[in-house]
Amino acid sequence: MHFSDLLLPSLLSLIPTITSAPTGDLSPRTCPSTIIKDGSFESGTVPQTSGTTWTVVNTRGFYSSYSLTNPGSPSGGKNAFTVSHLPGPYDGTGIRELRQTLGTCAGKNYSITADFRFESAANNYCSLAVVYPFKTGVGSVTTSSATPGLTPGVWSTTGGFFQAVSSSSLLNFVFRCDNQERNKISLDNVKVNLFNGNAY
């Protein structure tokens, strides 16, 4: 009998024996399959001041209104969300916001695209802003109604990129007119997708 024959059983006795499998959720984390709901407003439901999809906030001015209008953008379908800004007698600024909380994964990058249309150039006093999470604050892309290259009544596309910091991220569209300008600003075909590039 060799010395190694005596040593091996002794060493094996020092190795702990696994009597049960580890407990807990060991499955890989998956991101929500639905990031945004009713992005083209095809449900036919007009967003309200509270809800589980889109919500509307009247930030300033009480003379603007909103509704679903048709047709929507060529890529969006039959409906679009439209804010009609009317000047008030005491305040020449009107602001409406359309918001939705997205289902996201922290650390993942996302792209945002949306179709929009101004009814008129409104002397460049109206705008649409896309506001999204950015690091510890927010980022935004703002397009004015007289931006070179835009044609009143014709659909265009805007968007942005962000990196999610939690399982929910707030997406906000801000419809604004100043200087008592009248305009109709429409939104449709809002899409949010995972983005493989750098969002910063």
- The answer for residues whose C-beta is within 8 angstroms of residue 16's C-beta and 6 or more apart is none
As given in the structure block, the two tokens for residue 180 are 């008592």
| Residue 7 pLDDT > 70 | no
Residue type, 35: I
pLDDT digits (tens, 9 = 90+) for 113-164: 999 999 999 889 999 999 998 777 788 999 999 999 999 999 999 999 999 9
Interatomic CA distance for residues 35 and 101, integer angstroms: 9
Handedness of CA 118, 188, 143, 169 (dihedral sign): positive
pTM: 0.82
